[in-house]
């Protein structure tokens, strides 16, 4: 029986020495390159340099090492065909195991290395060897992940496992190519393109599973949570410190809650923001002097909808704050920090509540949504109140407190599903109408939710008003000020109605439509 030959050339050297030692003990001949060769030699293992097989030294500062028929012929030869005779004719031996992972391209980009260094970390020979071995996986074991090393040491590796390893190998090179594509297509030295630049003609969605969930939106649907390339997210990478595992819907709602909470925290420094979400829509939002105060006010804004909801707070949760959540059933609580005492309290008093510590990460620039057979892609809506030029168009001017509430209500409306109308007063939402197919229905829902609390409240609408009906409804409810995008043909009529009712009106010239 011919000696089996393994080619080892890895950037991530986790476990490689022990693996090589076990291969040697099982009778494998070891072949290696560059840094891996040095590591194995220093470990006292008998290992041949690739240059011994090719007859050529490494060239061009290491850019050319394995791109040679003596390597790829040994990997690609079909064992059951006339290929072996051709190898023998040229003095080439087979290679039966290829263990390769690639230059740290993504890591080099992540640490802000100069462009020349990034380009030098584009691996060429590695992907070629991986693809060759994966193509010939029935005869050649391909390993790209140290977790799979034990599998290669089995006496017999099944055809199913060989095929799985090949698929994993192609996923490895696909993700690598996607990262390179994103870097080279991202403007000078991989920096993001300007906000007004067209979206790329080619967009690679390199997705790999980050979290398992029991099912999707409904029990009859399979589901999982995937990471896009190397991106991180505050919820995707959050630490679950107490409670049950997260569900598919928990992730979606927590992501929505945290996005609004983070924007409010950045916009209202010195105050704690609390956002309660139900089915990806805010249902109770408040600013307060403490987590407990903000939470209590957000809860009381809509106690019916908050039940079974997801809550995000912008301040750290200590034991006192944790106790304020007693008495309300919630699915998820996410915060920037949770004390050990609070974690212990939640585990004892609310064992079903999933308590998350948000990761320090921001959402990516692109918003990607699935279509049948494709995706709709847009830039994420990063426009904030401070980016606007609000214009008062009525005779009545908003007071200082009304300006603060108009800003707050506008920020909440940005994260509510359209059509969306938000009523707020003193930094608390008192009525929200979201996801309505008619803007008048959204306004009616918000006013009905608010009831008497609408008296003196402000109104924010993400949609402009084509008629004066919403303004008159607001007047009947007792609303004192309105902010809306403007831009409708009947703006003069709408403004005149506001003047008639003594309501101040602000136009932003910008809307935040959200499906």
Annotated active-site positions, please?
Answer: 135, 279
CB 283 within 8 A of CB 432: yes
Tell me how crowded residue 471 is: count the other CB atoms within 10 A of its CB: 27
User: In the structure encoding, which two tokens stand for residue 155, read together?
Assistant: 């006496």
User: In the structure encoding, which two tokens stand for residue 287, read together?
Assistant: 């600013």
CB 328 within 8 A of CB 299: yes
CB 413 within 8 A of CB 506: no
CB 440 within 8 A of CB 473: yes
Residues in the chain: 515
Query: What whole-number distance in Å separates Cα of residue 407 and Cα of residue 481?
Result: 11
- Rounded alpha-carbon distances, angstroms, from residue 311 to 150, 209, 276, 445: 43, 25, 4, 22
Question: How deeply is 279 buried, as exposed, middle or buried, from its count of CB atoms within 10 A (0-12, 13-18, 19+)?
Answer: middle
Q: Which segments of 185-334 does DSSP mark as H helices, in order?
A: 248-267, 291-301, 303-306, 319-323
Q: How many CA atoms lie within 13 A of 474 on its CB side?
A: 38
User: In the structure encoding, which two tokens stand for residue 105, read together?
Assistant: 């391209």
Helix (H) or strand (E) holding 489: none
Backbone angles phi, psi at 392, to 5 degrees: -80, 125
Show Cβ contacts of residue 3 under 8 Å, excluding neighbours closer than 6 positions: 27, 28, 29
Strands 207-212 and 224-228: antiparallel
User: In the structure encoding, which two tokens stand for residue 367, read together?
Assistant: 């918003």
């Amino acid at each position: 029986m011919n000696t089996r030959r393994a080619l080892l050339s890895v950037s991530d050297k986790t476990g490689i020495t022990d693996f090589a030692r076990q291969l040697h003990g099982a009778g494998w001949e070891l072949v290696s390159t560059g840094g891996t060769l040095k590591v194995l030699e220093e470990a006292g293992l008998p290992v041949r340099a690739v240059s011994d097989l090719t007859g050529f030294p490494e060239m061009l500062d290491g850019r050319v090492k394995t791109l040679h028929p003596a390597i790829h012929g040994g990997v690609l030869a079909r064992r059951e065909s006339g290929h072996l005779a051709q190898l023998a004719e040229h003095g080439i031996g087979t290679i039966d195991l290829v263990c390769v992972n690639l230059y740290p391209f993504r890591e080099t980009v992540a640490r802000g290395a100069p462009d020349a260094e990034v380009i030098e970390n584009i691996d060429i020979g590695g992907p070629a060897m991986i693809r060759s071995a994966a193509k010939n996986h029935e005869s050649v074991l391909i390993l790209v992940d140290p977790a799979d090393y034990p599998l290669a040491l089995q006496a017999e590796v099944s055809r199913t496992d060989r095929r799985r390893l090949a698929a994993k190998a192609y996923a490895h090179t696909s993700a690598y190519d996607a990262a390179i594509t994103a870097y080279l297509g991202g403007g000078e030295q991989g920096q993001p393109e300007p906000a007004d630049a067209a979206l790329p003609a080619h967009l690679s969605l390199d997705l790999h599973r980050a979290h398992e969930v029991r099912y999707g939106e409904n029990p009859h649907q399979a589901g999982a949570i995937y990471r896009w390339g190397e991106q991180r997210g505050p919820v995707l990478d959050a630490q679950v410190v107490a409670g049950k595992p997260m569900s598919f819907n928990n992730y979606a709602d927590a992501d929505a809650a945290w996005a609004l909470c983070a924007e409010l925290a950045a916009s209202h420094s010195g105050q704690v923001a609390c956002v309660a979400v139900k089915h990806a829509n805010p249902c109770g939002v408040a600013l307060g002097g403490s987590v407990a105060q903000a939470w209590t006010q957000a809860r009381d804004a809509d106690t019916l909808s908050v039940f079974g909801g997801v809550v995000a707070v912008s301040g750290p949760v200590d034991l006192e704050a944790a106790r304020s959540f007693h008495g309300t059933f919630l699915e998820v609580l996410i915060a920037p920090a949770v004390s050990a005492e609070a974690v212990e309290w939640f585990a004892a008093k609310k064992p079903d509540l999933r308590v998350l510590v948000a990761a320090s990460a921001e959402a990516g620039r692109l918003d990607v949504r699935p279509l049948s057979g494709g995706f709709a892609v847009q830039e994420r809506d990063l426009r904030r109140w401070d980016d606007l030029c609000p214009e008062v168009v009525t005779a009545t001017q908003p007071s200082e407190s009304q300006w603060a509430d108009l800003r707050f209500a506008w920020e909440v409306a940005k994260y509510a599903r359209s059509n969306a109308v938000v009523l707020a007063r003193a930094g608390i939402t008192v009525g929200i109408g979201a996801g309505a197919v008619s803007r008048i229905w959204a306004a009616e829902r918000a006013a009905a939710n608010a009831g008497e609390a609408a008296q003196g409240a402000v109104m924010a609408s993400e949609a402009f008003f084509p008629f004066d009906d919403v303004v008159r409804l607001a007047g009947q409810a007792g609303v004192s000020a309105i902010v809306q995008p403007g831009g409708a043909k009947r703006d003069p009529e709408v403004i005149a109605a506001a003047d008639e009712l003594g309501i101040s009106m602000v136009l932003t010239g910008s809307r935040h439509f959200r499906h």
